[in-house]
Amino acid sequence: MPLAVGAPTSTNITATSATLGGNVSSDGGSSVTGRGVVLSRTSFNSNPLIGGTDVTKINASASTGVFTVSASNLTSETAYTFKAFVTNATGTVYSAPASFTTLSSNALLSSLALSTGSLVPAFSSGQAQYTSTVPNATSSLLLTATSANANASISINGAAAAIGTSSGTLSLIIGRNDFTVSVTSQDGTNMVTYMLTIYRSALPPSVNSPTATVSGVYTPTLGGNVASDGGSAITERGFVFSVASVNGDPLLGGTGTTKKIVTGSTGVFSAGIDGLQSGTTYAYKAYATNNAGTGYSALAQFTTLTGPDITVQQPAGVPVVPGGTKAFGTTTKTSPISLTFTISNPGSGDLSALGISIDGTNAADFTTSPPSSTLVKPGESTSFTVHFTPSPGPTGNRTANLHITSNAPSKNPYDIVLSGLALSFTTDSDNDGLNDASEFDMSSLNFNWQQSQIALVNTYNQAANGAGLFRQNQLQALHPEASLVGPDPETGRFALTLRLKSSSDLVGFSDFPIPASSLISITPAGTLKFEVSPLGNTAFFLIKID
């Protein structure tokens, strides 16, 4: 039989390798000196022969029978043509040509598209994460994924999907929806995952059932119901209202509108509304807001009852709201502060039975006079004055509660917190040797009770002492030891007359009377002791000996 080889085979094909073979069925009567496979890329050479263009020769053992060889370093996704060959002394014989195509390791998509909406960013095979936002009306959509290699496999959220064909219907909930598109290469060696997040927009909340209960002159109770949050959390709810003649269709931010926020989310809610005018028609709506917008109830109206009203201002024209605070500022017991409060009646009835009272922690530090009138006609006003005169004690805040009683139905009593900072003649907050009250009273001389000014205080004390002036705590330490007068010639007695003058500014001095109630004593050692209480804002004393 002549030399013969046939039955070319290809198995175990991957992206870069394959097992190829043949069968030497006859040696032709001469020993086989070589056998194997020749292959080439089909696009370069479709008839590979030893030594030909783009031909690779892979040798097997030199014998007859079936054989296989391993072809490696191949190009993926490429068609190859190969032949088995056998050689002996008479020459080389080839099998018929055969072909195979290496597998793909490509696990990328060539396109990704939605039936509704667009991808952000625009699709690129190397970009793995995308988002898209669709309207609330889009409750489902289709997803089409096409692989770069037609032999790859695709799954969407773990379910197999046909390449280049729309997926089954993908349902969307309101809010965030996550989808995973996985691509596995033909040879199974690579997998690429694409992440897609689709946001289905929410609707504004659904609000209904506006109600109003007018049980007081100025304080109706409004109600509403957030029937649905629209698929997104409620961020605010409440009521928006306006005087109907000014704005008959109130919306948030509209002309003449006021909103009342009520905490909570869905369901029925209500709130009292204050600060309204008596005998006035108001338009209102319940509302609720989420990240998709604001929903309103139907428009409704209510009318407040007629009657008196009360407002308080200090100074005139500057409102002090019920429960608000009025600060008197900083002072000492020698420099009271007085503030005049104005009571007005913006209502439609007489404001009567006005009464003023003060209580609280430091009530004794605040005194008041009755209002100039206890009856205020609509559109008119009256006034009263509160005096802040700190009582003795350490430096600190003083507070009290001011109560204004009247026949105003929704503001009785009208409560205001009074506050003031009292500086003491016994406290030295800045530790510079001079008390807070004295430094405050001498602020015109650049003293500052909150700033340590040791050098200034020392200079001041030295100048005062040098002029024969002594502060209260220095007066008791004064001990004249030298004989200042001689005996009376007639009686033989010594007479020592002391005169005490006081001053608060070191400029003017006046006699400091010693009342009969003062304590005067003589010690066994002959020391004369006076105990007196300083008057007014006395800070310095002058002792004269006559």
pLDDT tens digits, 147-170: 999 999 999 999 999 888 878 889
Q: Pairing mode, if any, of strands 129-134 and 191-200?
A: parallel
Residue 496 pLDDT:
59
Q: Token pair of 399, please?
A: 């507070």
Query: Which residues have CB under 8 Å from 444's CB, separation 6+?
Result: none
C-alpha distance across the termini of the chain, in Å: 165
Residue 166 pLDDT:
79
The answer to whether 384 touches 366, Cβ cutoff 8 Å, is no
Q: Pairing mode, if any, of strands 366-368 and 381-388?
A: antiparallel
Whole-angstrom Cα Rg for the chain = 52
Compute the 3-state secondary structure of the chain and give helix, strand, coil in percent, each to the nearest 5. Answer: 5, 45, 50
Question: Residue 364, SS3?
Answer: helix
Residue 306 pLDDT:
79
The answer to whether 415 touches 341, Cβ cutoff 8 Å, is no
Closest CA to 467 of 512, 513, 503, 428: 503
In this structure, the number of other CB atoms found within 10 A of the CB of residue 288 comes to 30
Residue 477 pLDDT:
53
Task: For residue 460, report the phi and psi dihedrals to the nearest 5 degrees.
Answer: -65, -45
Q: What sign does the dihedral 462-465-471-472 (CA atoms) show?
A: positive
Q: What is the DSSP letter of 443?
A: G
Task: For residue 465, report the phi and psi dihedrals to the nearest 5 degrees.
Answer: -65, -40
The answer to whether 469 touches 506, Cβ cutoff 8 Å, is yes
Question: Residue 461, SS3?
Answer: helix
**What strand order describes the sheet that includes 414-423?**
325-332, 414-423, 396-405, 355-359
Question: Residue 406, SS3?
Answer: coil
Residue 275 pLDDT:
78
Return per-residue pLDDT of the chain as tens, 546 residues.
899 999 899 999 999 999 999 999 999 999 999 999 999 999 999 999 999 999 999 999 999 999 999 999 999 999 999 999 999 999 999 999 999 999 999 999 999 999 999 999 999 999 999 999 999 999 999 999 999 999 999 999 999 998 888 788 899 999 999 999 999 999 999 999 999 999 999 999 999 999 998 865 667 899 999 999 999 999 999 999 999 999 999 999 999 999 999 999 999 999 999 878 878 899 999 999 999 999 999 999 999 887 888 899 999 999 999 999 999 999 999 999 999 999 999 887 889 999 999 999 999 999 998 898 999 999 899 999 999 999 999 999 999 999 999 998 778 899 999 999 999 999 999 999 999 998 998 998 899 999 999 999 888 888 777 666 555 555 545 544 444 444 454 444 555 566 667 666 555 677 766 665 555 667 666 666 666 666 665 656 666 655
